[in-house]
Structure 1
Amino acid sequence: MLNATDMTLSELWGIGQNLLIWEWVKLSEFPSTYSYDEALLLSPLIEDWWLVWIPDHGEAVVKVEEVRKRIV
């Protein structure tokens, strides 16, 4: 049985970003001047919004357009 943690964003919402839960992404907009430019994807919310965790900031809600995959 497939659950939400096994699904990509595109499978959940039909969006082409192909993001995964527990994946680190780069942020294009920062919640504060001193926050990191990366976030950990925690959970897709509605349509094109994600709950993320940002180091030294905490949880935040971001739009898919505000993130891009981190190249490791």
Structure 2
Amino acid sequence: MREDHRELKKDLRYPHTRPAEIRHDLKEIRHDFRKLRRDCRELHRDFQELQRDKRSFRRYGRKIN
């Protein structure tokens, strides 16, 4: 168990010694994570825009552009 842990730490410390499939998986995970963050930012922006529209609608009784 301890040796496995040591090996894992070594793998994490020296990424170029990792097996290629692990490097590939990590790359995919990072890519997916960045995509998710980008999507979340866009959703948040849309949500804020809707909130703004809702406030102006409530204030003036209709949407003003």
TM-score between the two structures when normalised by the length of structure 2: 0.20
Larger Rg: 2
Greater fraction helix: 2
More strand by share: 1
Does 1 or 2 have the higher relative contact order (CA < 8 Å, sep 6+)? 1
